[in-house]
């Protein structure tokens, strides 16, 4: 019988990621979210939380580079982009992208974000996840605690009308967290991308146009 690792390598999204040069199948979750909600529109300053191994950074870079060409008009645009990834694991270098090996729940993170961007952000992404212990309720609560930490970063750093994507786990307290997010954004959507495993209880909350 094939072990978990072998089964993982047989998945269509894993094979596609290898073929197209993405570091992980999770790239397709973000591409799916972008296709549906256009979160990268005019996004030049982007923060990616829980960024290892770097597939979301690769996607963010692709759209940021496209935006430099696409939005040369009298509205909001920049002549450069800034993207930073933060994770407790080391992320292998990606050209023109900065990464910080750090715990995103620590107070020092704010100083590092400030010193790098020196401006409010257009988009904050978070595929950050707790290390699951296998108890669905406990994992759900621990993941939501992480989500509240991330929401604090969003409140401090996201610009007016900026967008956010946060990974949560479905469960008893999910609606409470969604309600908290909804108070901050004009639109809040929940979405499970096609690349998410069917049995997984992960769900992405997409906040559009920060108030």
Residue numbers annotated as active site? 167
What is the end-to-end Cα distance of the chain in Å, rounded?
A: 52
In angstroms and rounded to an integer, the radius of gyration of the C-alpha atoms of the chain is 17
- Positive or negative, the Cα torsion across 125, 101, 6, 135? negative
Let me know how long the chain is: 211
Closest CA relative to residue 126, chosen from 104, 106, 141: 104
CA separation for the pair 70, 44 (Å, rounded): 12
């Amino acid at each position: 019988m094939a072990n978990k690792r072998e089964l993982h390598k047989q998945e269509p999204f894993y094979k596609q990621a290898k073929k197209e040069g993405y570091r992980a199948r999770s790239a397709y979750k973000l591409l799916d979210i972008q296709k549906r909600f256009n979160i990268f529109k005019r996004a030049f300053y982007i923060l990616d939380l829980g960024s290892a191994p770097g597939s979301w950074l690769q996607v963010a870079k692709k759209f940021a580079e496209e935006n430099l060409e696409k939005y040369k008009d009298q509205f909001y645009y920049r002549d450069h982009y800034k993207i930073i990834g933060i994770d407790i694991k080391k992320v292998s270098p990606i050209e023109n992208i900065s990464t910080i090996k750090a715990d995103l729940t620590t107070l020092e993170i704010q100083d590092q974000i400030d010193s790098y961007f020196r401006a409010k952000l257009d988009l904050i992404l978070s595929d950050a996840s707790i290390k699951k212990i296998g108890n669905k309720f406990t994992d759900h609560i621990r993941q939501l605690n992480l989500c509240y930490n991330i929401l604090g970063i969003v409140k401090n750093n996201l610009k007016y009308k900026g967008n956010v994507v946060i990974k949560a786990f479905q469960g008893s307290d999910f609606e409470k967290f969604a309600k908290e997010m909804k108070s901050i954004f004009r639109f809040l959507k929940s979405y499970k991308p096609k690349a998410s495993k069917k049995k997984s209880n992960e769900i992405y909350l997409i906040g559009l146009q920060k108030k």
